[in-house]
Amino acid sequence: MQKEKKREVEEMMEWCVSMPKVELHAHLNGSVRDSTLLELARDLGEKGIIEFADVEHVILKNDRSLVEVFKLFDLIHILTTDHSTVTRITREVVEDFAAENVVYLELRTTPKRNELKGMSKRSYVDAVLLGLRSVEHVDVVLTNAFSNGKISAVSSPAKNGSTRKRIYVGLLLSIDRRETTASAMETVKLALEMRELGIVGIDLSGDPRLGNWSTFLPALEFAREQGQFITLHCGEVYNPDEVRAMLDFSPHRIGHACLFEDDAWTKLKSSKIPVEICLTSNVRTETITSYDVHHFADLHEAKHPIVVCTDDSGVFSTSLSDEYRLAASTFGHPHAPKLKEITFFYITDCNAE
């Protein structure tokens, strides 16, 4: 019996891996392989910049609270400061998503300035783009169409009869909640300048306990006036005023939507703003107490546009296939058709508009 159960789980996982998938909420520095982080940490240890023994267990730790997650990001950012490392992690992250049959990826990252390394926000993004161009064994097609449903190109046949895997990639530039209005504006202007190079829009993220919505609003309003697409991390911690203000702003998508008051929940559902669902991230950071009470079920039931995403596959040791398997086993197991419905709901719903 146990053997049968095990086989069932394995079959479900194989199916989740083989299925073509769409990933719309993945942070670059949160998706780095542990092996790469360890290698970079060892390197900096040898140069005497950090103490490897102090950071090894931080990288390998599995269960992390929200506070620990953001401490880990501070460490990861120390390990990935130079251009060549940014290029390398981008290449690896895209290869990893392509390996599990992600066919459309919106990758997000915060452009960073680092005078010591001669890095500007622009050169950071250039390093990311170079990473996209240096992916091996997979055709990377840059897209500048934010996923508002127009992703039919995903199923178009490969050119020149090529049998190589193909992945469509768009970049979202993130504003970190620690930034100033001027710095947020700089990121928006950069995204506009680089629109034709594969920048699909703007994301607001960062430690949700920090910063004020009003700081970022001018830059986000400017972005929207200029026709940019916007997705916001919304309701990751309890902050009802901010959630209301974000819904009033009417972004093109939101991430998480965990801690909403009833009035905001009703408003979200009538707004049909698509929600990026990150199951493992929400439970690991204790934003949601357990999978079975996750708002995924409510939104799915209401046929609200949702999309299953990883958030930080490296930090939370997950993959998009794992997230689908988790969704299936919690909300639909063992009926594959139900899972299919979950998978493609977002796309079909938006195409119908």
What is the contact surface with ligand 6MZ in residues (CB under 6 A)? 27-30, 69, 73, 109-110, 174, 176, 205-206, 208, 233, 236, 281, 285, 311-312
To the nearest whole angstrom, how small is the minimum distance from the Cβ of residue 65 to Zn ion?
16
- d(Cα 279, Cα 326) in Å, to the nearest integer? 8
> Helix (H, G, I), strand (E, B), or coil: what is residue 26?
strand
Q: Which does 55 bind (CB under 5 to 8 A by kind): ligand 6MZ, Zn ion, none?
A: none
**Count of CB atoms within 10 A of residue 130's CB?**
16
281 touches 316 (CB < 8 A): yes
Which CB atom, from 235 or from 274, has the smaller least distance to ligand 6MZ?
235
Q: Do you know the residue count of the chain?
A: 353
Q: Which does 29 bind (CB under 5 to 8 A by kind): ligand 6MZ, Zn ion, none?
A: ligand 6MZ
To the nearest whole angstrom, how small is the minimum distance from the Cβ of residue 285 to ligand 6MZ?
6
How buried is 116 (Cβ within 10 angstroms: 0-12 exposed, 13-18 middle, 19+ buried)?
Answer: exposed
Which CB atom, from 80 or from 109, has the smaller least distance to Zn ion?
109
The residue with its CB nearest to Zn ion is 311
Which CB atom, from 22 or from 173, has the smaller least distance to ligand 6MZ?
173
Placement of tokens 């949702």 in the chain: 306
Which CB atom, from 92 or from 311, has the smaller least distance to Zn ion?
311
To the nearest whole angstrom, how small is the minimum distance from the Cβ of residue 86 to ligand 6MZ?
9
Q: Which does 73 bind (CB under 5 to 8 A by kind): Zn ion, ligand 6MZ, none?
A: ligand 6MZ
- d(Cα 59, Cα 53) in Å, to the nearest integer? 11
To the nearest whole angstrom, how small is the minimum distance from the Cβ of residue 331 to ligand 6MZ?
21
> Helix (H, G, I), strand (E, B), or coil: what is residue 277?
strand
- d(Cα 112, Cα 143) in Å, to the nearest integer? 22
- d(Cα 31, Cα 238) in Å, to the nearest integer? 26
> Annotated catalytic residue: which of 236, 242, 276, 323?
236
To the nearest whole angstrom, how small is the minimum distance from the Cβ of residue 174 to Zn ion?
9
Q: Which does 172 bind (CB under 5 to 8 A by kind): Zn ion, ligand 6MZ, none?
A: none
Measured in degrees and rounded to the nearest 5, phi and psi for residue 294 equal -70, 145
Does the annotation count 225 as an active-site position? no
Reading the block at residue 174, the tokens are 């993130």
Q: Active-site residues: which are they?
A: 236
